[in-house]
Amino acid sequence: MKKTLLAGALAALALAAAGGVAIAQAAPQAAAPRAMRADADGDSRISQAEFVGRRLQRLTAADADRDGSVTPEEMRAVAQARMAQRADARFQRLDANSDGSISRAEFDMRRAARAEARPHRAARMHRGAGRMARHGQGANMHGPISIAGAQAKAEQAFTRLDADRDGFITAAERRAGMQGVRRERMTERRAARHAQRQASPPAPASE
């Protein structure tokens, strides 16, 4: 009896240890998709083609006339199509039993009212695409976004992140690179605030 209990206890300890190892091994894998979303082939590293392709995916999809640039009108068309798809999905979710008891006319009227209440949503999406392109068109973010310019910026970003220059970015390199970018942005913001304070005229002395 004692031998049976001892064997059972050892087996339980072995299973617990194996489970701990499995959890420890699974944790990085669970976090990897978020940090390595551009890893299309799943080899735990990002090639330049994967990195640049991920950066340009939305821009190339929005370039309806394939002229190599994305205009605000093209971005608005993408935003409107996306809003229509989401509206259709919401309708399907509301009509749980698929009996069509929700009036489509009322639903579309509500959608139009919500769209009119948010007229700047497409403009925000265009600015977001510009940030994603890392200012491929320079400071002129209200005009067309050059896909070639965005590609050049993406290639520069890849070179900056590829610390060991092996042609691939690992999760560790990406984390280190993003931390460096955040530090640079904080330094730039502090310098801009300091310059603004220096340029501001002193307040007049009270009499």
Give CA–CA dist 36/31, Å, rounded: 9
Tokens of 60: 């190339």
The partner residues of 39 in beta bridges, in order of sequence, read none
The whole-number pLDDT of residue 23 equals 42
Tokens of 27: 């944790």
Tell which phi-psi region holds residue 51, choosing left (phi > 0), alpha (psi between -120 and 50) or beta. Answer: alpha
pLDDT tens string, the chain, 207 residues long: the values are: 544 444 554 454 444 444 444 444 444 444 445 557 788 888 889 999 999 999 899 899 999 999 999 999 998 999 999 898 888 888 777 676 777 777 777 777 777 777 776 655 555 555 555 554 444 443 344 689 999 999 999 999 999 999 999 999 998 998 888 888 788 888 888 988 888 888 876 656 555
Q: Residue 46: helix, strand or coil by DSSP? A: strand
Taking alpha carbons only, the member of 152, 172, 153 closest to residue 162 is 172
Please enumerate in sequence order all residues whose Cβ is within 8 A of that of 70, keeping only pairs 6 or more positions apart, or say none.
59, 62, 63, 129, 144, 145, 147
Question: Beta strand 46-47 with 69-70: parallel, antiparallel or unpaired?
Answer: unpaired
The whole-number pLDDT of residue 87 equals 83
As to burial, measured by CB atoms within 10 angstroms (0-12 exposed, 13-18 middle, 19+ buried), residue 70 is: buried
